[in-house]
Chain A
Amino acid sequence: MTDIVTTHITVALVLFLLGLYCVLSKRNLIKIVIGIEVMNKGVILNFITAGYYQNNLGIAQAIVVTVILIDAVVVAVLFALIVNVFRHNKRIFAEDAARLKG
């Protein structure tokens, strides 16, 4: 049992770090959103593993479904923002959004 848990947590961590690297290193806003999503998947996998480890898979699944749902909303909002950044600047680089700073 612990083997499976270790494997899953390792995969979750790798997913999270991959996403983090993507978010930190990319300028393209869509790539950043993809990175956020990859991080998110790592977190979800971590949730499921924790539920399995504690014999509480039901609650873990319920939380994960909620997270996925909210995630969809977040992605929709992010893409709406990106579309607006594109309309303003004709490109979608992260530093374009920095024009909003005071």
Chain B
Amino acid sequence: MFAGEIGVGAILCPIAGAILAPLAYAVRRKMVAWFAVFFALMTCTLSLLLLTNIQSGVLLTYNWIPSIGFSIALNLDALGVYVAAVAGSIGFLVMLYSVRYMEHAEIEGYSLLRYYGLTLLFVGSMIGLVLSDSIILVYIFWELVGFCSYALISYYYKDPKALRAGTKAFVVTRIGDVGLFIAIVALWGSTHSTSLAAIVNLAPADSTLLTIAGFGVLLAAIGKSAQFPLHVWLPDAMEAPTTISALIHAATMVNAGVYLVARTYPIFSVVPSWPMAVVIIGTFTALFAATMALAEPDLKRALALSTISQLGIMLSAAGAGAIVAFEFHLVSHAIFKGLLFLCAGVVIRSVHTRNMYEMGGLANHMKITNVTFIIGTLALVGIPIFNGFWSKELVLDSINGAGYLGATGVLIITSFLTAVYSWRMYYLVFLGKKRTPLEVRDPPYEMRTPLIILSIATLVSWIFISQFSSGLAYSLPSSYGAELLTVRETIEIVLLSPLVVVSIGSLCIIAWLAFVFKDRMMQFLKEDRGLAKALKHGYWFDDLYRVASRGLFFVGREVSYTQTGDVNYNLAGIVLGGIVILLILILGNMGW
């Protein structure tokens, strides 16, 4: 009933909120925050309603440009709807949290209108991206998401670091966008269709164009989801307000890349070595980012690196064709990473620094934040009964089942590293001696509520695996290979799998670190030499890119000398070009 209308409503509601926000701001400046919360609540309701309206096949098709087969349609299958529901609900919680968190911005001279308007647009674009069927609409929303993240990362525009981070995010993700554009053109060239559902059903045979499209999509995912070697923008994006970081990491932006790979998996699975390439990039990034997170002194950057690592795990699940495990891990990760970022926001708001070495001993001063952060961390590590445990074990099991033994091994090592850096993060922030002179206490209710809701979700979301997987199995074409899983089966798969040793191992590592090894490890990671130095500098990837861009600027300056601006010179060029075109036309007509 009205499924299509609800879908359109979920896309248009936040966008309408973004358009109307200036009116609310004009009436009363303070009102804009609650206005945005109201629209986010409506979006949240609509996107959760979508969960009961999962449909297979496209809806509300509208032929826009029939001659090139460009039609707009809504696709309400589970793959998109789950991501939309996550974006809508976490978007609402983040908005609620922002009301108090962003109070200071107006005083410091940053407009709240810009913040709330862009955030609503951000959420709306993400929902539009995952619910659209036409790949051209996907591209438009993809760019909108990229633009919003750019504008929000440099929200504190008086800080040159924030400006630089925003520009960096924009430029780096743009490399991926080129990949998506190439993929769209190549896909259209090989199938003459822009509808993703139609292309999936066509199941085009392998060809050169399809190979190009496949690797274009992979490049797009690498850019958007911050995978190796384009991972450099995500840690820097932490200059954004913490609420925006939570949104980028949990609900919008970075999930788009891995979502696109999962969405197009049936199209490209026939391309030789494409699934392999996806799995290799995913697992390598997972390990690579986890090692960097070990030595990171900045709380938010450490969380960002852990997101890159978790996205790598998701990407390898998508590449192995494990659609249920992939989607399940995406939703679990969105919940617990949103929780972790909002907790980090509370901490940063009270201690006014992001450096973990200046925090410490906060556990007794902010009890609720402490408990919720522990819940988030345990889910991230993958300790039993938290949602991260079930989803990560499912991913590992399905990658193992798909025959990627090396990838499984790397991901197990990654899980152990995850345990180490998560414990280090918790230890530095909440345990030990209190290193900040400021008075620290739990946040006000507007900020506390999202924390509590998200920690409850972290505890219980896995119970719905049966409904979750049946939605996927019912709505997706069989080429996705989504399988039904009941809670009981999940428990059996996970607990009987030999890989359950990962979570037990993680527990043991944490215990070992906590009681025996912590001082030496902390000392080693704190010092700025040897391996720790390489980790802290992100293996000097930034410097590599800096050198590359300097080379590019040099070439640009040298080439610019050919542009004299002399009229006669330019005209001669025009005439020469005209002659060349004329020759090509004449020779073409003569049948060359």
Contacts and interface: CB of A to CB of B under 8 A. Distances in A.
B437 interface: no
Contacts of B564: 98
B563 A101 contact: yes
Contact of A95 (B566, B571, B572): B566
B568 A98 contact: no
A20 B566 contact: no
B560 to A, nearest CB: 10
Contact of B566 (A26, A32, A94): A94
A25 B567 contact: no
Nearest to B563: A101
A97 B565 CA distance: 8
B571 A23 contact: yes
Contacts of B575: 20, 24
B577 to A, nearest CB: 14
Nearest to B572: A24
Contacts of A91: none
B568 A24 contact: yes
Nearest to A100: B565
B582 to A, nearest CB: 13
Contacts of A88: none
Contacts of B568: 23-27, 94
A95 B567 contact: yes
B571 A98 contact: no
A98 B565 contact: yes
Interface string A82-102: 000000000000110110110
Q: Taking chain A's interface residues, is the majority helix, strand, or loop, or is none over half, making it mixed? A: helix
Contacts of B567: 32, 94-95, 97-98
Contacts of B571: 23-24
Interface residues of A, number: 13
- Residue among B565, B567, B572 facing the most chain A CB atoms (10 A cut-off): B567
Interface in B532-564: 563-564
A66 B575 CA distance: 25
A25 B567 CA distance: 10
Nearest to A98: B565
B533 to A, nearest CB: 42
Contacts of A101: 563, 565
A97 B570 CA distance: 13
Contacts of B565: 95, 98, 100-101
A38 to B, nearest CB: 14
Interface string A16-28: 0000100111110
A27 B569 CA distance: 11
A44 B503 CA distance: 84
A41 B94 CA distance: 68
A82 B463 CA distance: 78
A102 to B, nearest CB: 9
Interface string A33-44: 000000000000
Contacts of A95: 565-567
A95 B567 CA distance: 7
Nearest to B567: A94
- Residue among A20, A26, A27, A98 facing the most chain B CB atoms (10 A cut-off): A98
Nearest to A95: B566
Contacts of A100: 565
B567 to A, nearest CB: 4
Interface string B211-251: 00000000000000000000000000000000000000000
Interface in A54-97: 94-95, 97
A97 B567 CA distance: 8
Interface string B384-420: 0000000000000000000000000000000000000
Contacts of A26: 568
Contacts of A24: 568, 571-572, 575
A40 B572 CA distance: 17
A23 B568 CA distance: 7
Contacts of A20: 575
A24 B576 CA distance: 12
Nearest to A27: B568
- Residue among A20, A24, A25, A101 facing the most chain B CB atoms (10 A cut-off): A24
B478 to A, nearest CB: 57
Contacts of A94: 566-568
A3 B566 CA distance: 41
Contacts of B563: 101
A54 B567 CA distance: 38
Nearest to A97: B567
Contacts of A25: 568
B111 to A, nearest CB: 31
A25 to B, nearest CB: 7
Nearest to A94: B567
A94 B564 CA distance: 12
A43 to B, nearest CB: 13
A12 to B, nearest CB: 16
Contacts of B572: 24
Interface in B334-355: none
A96 B567 CA distance: 10
Nearest to A25: B568
A97 B566 CA distance: 8
A20 to B, nearest CB: 7
Interface of B: 563-568, 571-572, 575
21 contacts: A20-B575, A23-B568, A23-B571, A24-B568, A24-B571, A24-B572, A24-B575, A25-B568, A27-B568, A94-B566, A94-B567, A94-B568, A95-B566, A95-B567, A97-B567, A98-B564, A98-B565, A98-B566, A98-B567, A101-B563, A101-B565
Given A25-B568, A27-B568, A100-B565, 8 more contacts: A24-B568, A24-B575, A26-B568, A94-B566, A95-B567, A98-B564, A98-B566, A101-B563
Leading 9 A-B pairs by shortest Cβ distance = A98-B565, A101-B565, A94-B567, A24-B568, A24-B572, A95-B566, A24-B571, A98-B566, A23-B571
